[in-house]
Amino acid sequence: MLVLGLVLIVLAAAATAFAFLASNVGHANVGLSAYGISLGVSPSTIFLAGAVSLLLLLAGIALIRSGAQRKARERRELKRLRKQQGPSASPPASSAPGSPGSASGSGGSGSRFGTGN
């Protein structure tokens, strides 16, 4: 798998170099217009903008994936710890009766959000 990955990376680099070099041959500007704004850009600029967009998309996907993996790892660890703790353990302090965050606690107004209702 490692060798296949390296071969794909080399092929992608070669295709990128070919596309960039081939777009510089014509030197003609391409007219782009949107929302009343008109620009004249070279094909290589359009190619680079697409490449940057792809890199940003891949970075976003990688961040979402790593965050999801971290959260799943935390859930597995919490589940394992709760299973180890057993059923005789007391509930966490934040949900115990009488704590400031609970509805029956001595939080003052008797409302969870402190509205006094």
pLDDT in tens, 32-48: 778 888 878 777 777 78
Residue 66 in contact with residue 59, Cβ under 8 Å? no
CA 86/CA 98 separation, integer angstroms = 24
pTM of the model: 0.50
- Residues 11-36: tens digit of each pLDDT: 888 887 877 777 666 667 777 778 88
Nearest-10 Cα torsion for 83, 86, 90, 92: -10
Contact 84, 77 (CB under 8 A): no
